[in-house]
Structures are given as structure tokens and as C-alpha cells.
Amino acid sequence: MSDDKKCKSCYYWRPHVLYPYIGLCVKHGKITTEDDTCEHFTDIKVDKNTFYWIPEIRTRVYGEEANIFINKGYKVYVGAYVDPDVRDEIYGAF
């Protein structure tokens, strides 16, 4: 199956903030890997009034700015998944 129909390209998928190869499927409410698939796949479409998460640079961008990053080859997502334990990992790194 092509990358087009995998979780890593789906509107409903939120990559983990530190481990972007796993994430939360908000449609199913469960953790999946970037290569999982399901019948609810929906393409990510950029909306000018929405924030987007870019895992490669760990930042959020707004609206049309997301298209600039997409054109540069970055993946954008509607959000990131931050599990309850990640706070300890983030603060422990400093």
C-alpha cells in the first residue's frame, strides 16, 4: 500500500511529540504506528484558520504558512499527541 493511505498521511492522526513514528488516531481513540492503515483514511487539507504541527522541527504554524513547509518537503499534521508521561521526559532532558 502506498504512503498515501497510511496513518502518517491521514487527517485523523496526531504524531507523538517526541516519537513521531507512533501517534494517536483521534477517529479510533487509540495509539497506532505511522504505517498502520484503516478504512477511515482522510487526506490532510490545509485550512487558513487552523494551526498545524511540524514534527521535524517541533513547531506549530498557522494556516497558509503550512503550505510553505509542505512545498519544502515537510509533513504537517493538525496536531501532535502529547501523552501524560512525556512531560517527565521533556523536563528531564534539561
pLDDT digits (tens, 9 = 90+) for 2-31: 457 999 999 999 999 989 999 999 999 999
Q: Is the model's pLDDT at 79 over the cut of 90?
A: yes
Element (H, E) at 69: helix 65-71
**Would you say 17 and 82 are in contact if contact means Cβ atoms under 8 Å apart?**
yes
Give the pLDDT confidence score for residue 2 in this predicted structure: 47
Query: What's the domain range around 19?
Result: 3-92
Strands 22-25 and 59-62: unpaired
- Our CA angle for 79, 53, 22, nearest 5°, is 65
The total number of structural domains in the chain stands at: 1
Give the pLDDT confidence score for residue 1 in this predicted structure: 41
Burial of 82 (0-12, 13-18, 19+ CB in 10 A): middle
Predicted confidence (pLDDT) per residue in 26-75, tens digit: 999 999 999 999 999 999 999 999 999 999 999 999 999 999 999 999 99
